[in-house]
Amino acid sequence: MKEINYILEKEKEILLHTYNRIPLEISHGEGVYLVSKDGRKYLDFFSGLAVNALGYGNEKIINAIEEQIKKIIHLSNYYINQPQLELAERLIKYSGLSRVFYTNSGTEAVETSLKLVRKAFGPDKKIITFSNAFHGRTYGSLSLSGKEKYKKHFTPLLANILNLEFNNTEQIEKNLDDNTAAVYIEFIQGEGGIRIVSKQFIEKLEELRKKYGFVLVADEVQSGIGRTGKPFAYNHFNIEPDLVITAKAIGGGLPLGALITNKKYSEVFQAGDHGSTFGGNPVACAAGLAVIKEIFRTDLMNNVEKLSNYFISKLKQLSVKFPDKIKEVRGIGFMIGIELNFPCNKIVDDFRKNGILVNCTSENVVRILPPLISTKENIDQFLTAFDNLLKQ
Ligand SMILES: Cc1ncc(COP(=O)(O)O)c(C=O)c1O
C-alpha cells in the first residue's frame, strides 16, 4: 500500500494529469488475469480497453514479435515490409474491402479518413456524426465527437460537422442530402455506453447513401477484430461501409491502427497526400498477423457468440432480480454494457476489491470487454460477484 501511494504521488508530480489512475500496481499479465505486485490475481474483463483480445502472454503473439524483432524493428515506409502486406491481405479478406493504410492508433486512422473524405468531396460538404459518439482525441476526431464534455475547452474545431441524434431515423432523413460528404458511425458505441444501432436506422442510412452517394465510415476501433463474435460489428447489420477504421486489438498490444477503403475510394490518396513514420511498423504488423490468424479461428468466434448469449441472458436475469438497480443490459458478443440506475464508479471499485476489473463509462454504464479467450468459469466468477454486490 505504501508503495502504491508513493507511485501515485510520483505520477502526480511528474506526469500530466490526464488519467484518473486506478490504485493498483500491476506486475504482469497471465491469460485473462492481471497480477498485482502483491501477487493478487485480477480477472481482467476490460482487456486494456479492448486491446488484449487474446489475453496476456499469448505465445503466438510473443513468437511473432520475437521473430520479427530479430529481423528488423523499424523500416521506413519508403520500403515495403512483408508483415504489412500479409496483414493487409487478411484485413481485406475479413472486411470485404479493397486497400489499407496503417497508423499507430485509432485516432490517427480517423484523421486519415477525414483527410480522404475532404480530398474526395472538398471542404464545404458536411460530415455527419451522432450523439454520444467517440472517435478519438486529436483535433479531427474530436470534432466528430458526440460528447460535449470532451470538446468544450478545445474550440474552434473542424468546420462543417453536424452532430445528429443516434438512432433517430427522422433526423437523418431531414439532414442528409446532396451536400453530405460522409457519415461516421460506431455500429455499437463503446465510450458512449454500449449503445447498439437499430436495424431501422441502418436501413434508412443505406437508403439515403444510395440516394446521395455519401461515404459511410464505420468506426470499428473498439468493436472490430472479433470483439462482437464477427470480424466487424457492421457484419451484424447486412451492410458494407465504404471505409472501415480499426485499431486497438489489431496490434496484439503494440500500437497499430488501419483505415481500410473500398475500391471506390482506394485512389483518392496519391503519393505525398498522407504518411506516417511508424504506421505499419513491421513488429506491430507481425503481431497483428498472429492476432488475426488466432482470432478468426472459427471455434474461437463461435465460442464468443455462444458465451455471449449465456452471459447476456444471465445479466438480464439479474436485471429482473434487481429492477431498481439495473436499468438495461445491452451488448453483442463480448462488448457488453450494464446501465445502472446510479453512477457506477463505486461498483467498479467494489468489483476490483473482489478481484475483477471492469470499467465505468457514460457515468452509469458498467462496460465489460472480456478477452475473447474467456471461459464460462470466468463469466460465472463475474456473475457471482455482481449478484453479491447488487445484494449489498
Ligand atoms: C470507437 C473509437 N474510435 C476511436 C478511438 C480512439 O482510438 P485511440 O485511443 O487508439 O486513438 C476509440 C478509443 O477508445 C474508440 O473507442
* Inter-residue contact 252 to 288 (CB < 8 Å): yes
The whole-number pLDDT of residue 314 equals 98
In this structure, the answer to whether residues 277 and 386 fall within a common structural domain is no
- Sheet containing 26-30: give its strands across: 26-30, 33-36, 41-44, 356-357
| Collapsed DSSP state (helix, strand, coil) of residue 63 | helix
Domain count, the chain: 2
Q: Which of 166, 221, 227, 250 to mutate to test the pocket of ligand 1 (most atoms within 8 A of CB)?
A: 221
The whole-number pLDDT of residue 361 equals 96
> Does a structural domain hold residue 66?
no
In this structure, the answer to whether residues 323 and 238 fall within a common structural domain is no
* Inter-residue contact 223 to 188 (CB < 8 Å): yes
- Sheet containing 161-164: give its strands across: 99-103, 257-261, 243-246, 215-219, 180-185, 126-130, 161-164
Q: Which H or E element spans position 360? A: strand 359-361
The whole-number pLDDT of residue 1 equals 61
In this structure, the answer to whether residues 231 and 366 fall within a common structural domain is no
Q: Give the separation between CA 307 and CA 368, rounded to whole angstroms.
A: 13
Domain boundary among 278, 295, 312: 295
> Per residue in 201-237, pLDDT tens?
999 999 999 999 999 999 999 999 999 999 999 999 9
Residues 6 or more apart in contact with residue 296 via CB below 8 angstroms: 90, 94, 226, 231
- CATH number assigned to the domain comprising residue 251: 3.40.640.10
* Inter-residue contact 251 to 284 (CB < 8 Å): yes
In this structure, the answer to whether residues 115 and 209 fall within a common structural domain is yes
Q: Ligand 1 atom closest to Cα of 189?
A: 1
Q: Give the separation between CA 308 and CA 276, rounded to whole angstroms.
A: 37
- CATH number assigned to the domain comprising residue 370: 3.90.1150.10
Cα angle: 147, vertex 241, 107; to 5 degrees: 40
> Does a structural domain hold residue 6?
yes
Grid coordinates standing for 375? 471461459
In this structure, the answer to whether residues 131 and 275 fall within a common structural domain is yes
- Strands (E) in 262-320, as ranges, are none
Domain boundary among 233, 265, 295: 295
| Collapsed DSSP state (helix, strand, coil) of residue 34 | strand
Q: Which H or E element spans position 215? A: strand 215-219
In this structure, the answer to whether residues 196 and 84 fall within a common structural domain is yes
> Per residue in 310-339, pLDDT tens?
999 999 999 999 999 999 999 999 999 999
In this structure, the answer to whether residues 86 and 53 fall within a common structural domain is no
Grid coordinates standing for 194? 454500449
Helices (H), 163-297: 169-175, 199-212, 282-295
In this structure, the answer to whether residues 226 and 307 fall within a common structural domain is no
Backbone torsion region of residue 289, taken as left when φ is above 0, otherwise alpha when ψ lies between -120 and 50, otherwise beta: alpha
Quickly count: other Cβ atoms within 10 Å of residue 199's Cβ.
11
> Does a structural domain hold residue 93?
yes
Give me the domain span that covers residue 158.
72-295
Q: How far is CA 13 from CA 10, 19, 87, 170, in A?
A: 5, 13, 41, 50
For every residue of 87-126, DSSP letters joined together read HHHHHHHHH---EEEEESSHHHHHHHHHHHHHHHH-SSSE
Q: Give the separation between CA 330 and CA 328, rounded to whole angstroms.
A: 6
Quickly count: other Cβ atoms within 10 Å of residue 359's Cβ.
21
Enumerate residues lining ligand 1, CB below 6 A. 105-107, 110, 134-136, 186, 190-191, 219, 221-222, 247
Ligand 1 centroid to 133 CA: how many Å?
Answer: 10
Ligand 1 centroid to 106 CA: how many Å?
Answer: 5
In this structure, the answer to whether residues 207 and 327 fall within a common structural domain is no
Q: Give the separation between CA 219 and CA 224, rounded to whole angstroms.
A: 8
> Does a structural domain hold residue 53?
yes
> Does a structural domain hold residue 185?
yes
Grid coordinates standing for 93? 479478406
Ligand 1 centroid to 40 CA: how many Å?
Answer: 30
> Does a structural domain hold residue 134?
yes
Strands 126-130 and 180-185: parallel
Q: Ligand 1 atom closest to Cα of 220?
A: 1
In this structure, the answer to whether residues 302 and 269 fall within a common structural domain is no
In this structure, the answer to whether residues 330 and 188 fall within a common structural domain is no
> Does a structural domain hold residue 219?
yes
Phi/psi of residue 356, each to 5°?
Answer: -130, 135
> Does a structural domain hold residue 63?
no
In this structure, the answer to whether residues 146 and 248 fall within a common structural domain is yes
Q: Which of 144, 248, 365 to mutate to test the pocket of ligand 1 (most atoms within 8 A of CB)?
A: 248
Q: Identify the segments of the chain with pLDDT beneath 50.
A: none
Domain boundary among 276, 295, 314: 295
Q: Which H or E element spans position 258? A: strand 257-261
The whole-number pLDDT of residue 3 equals 82
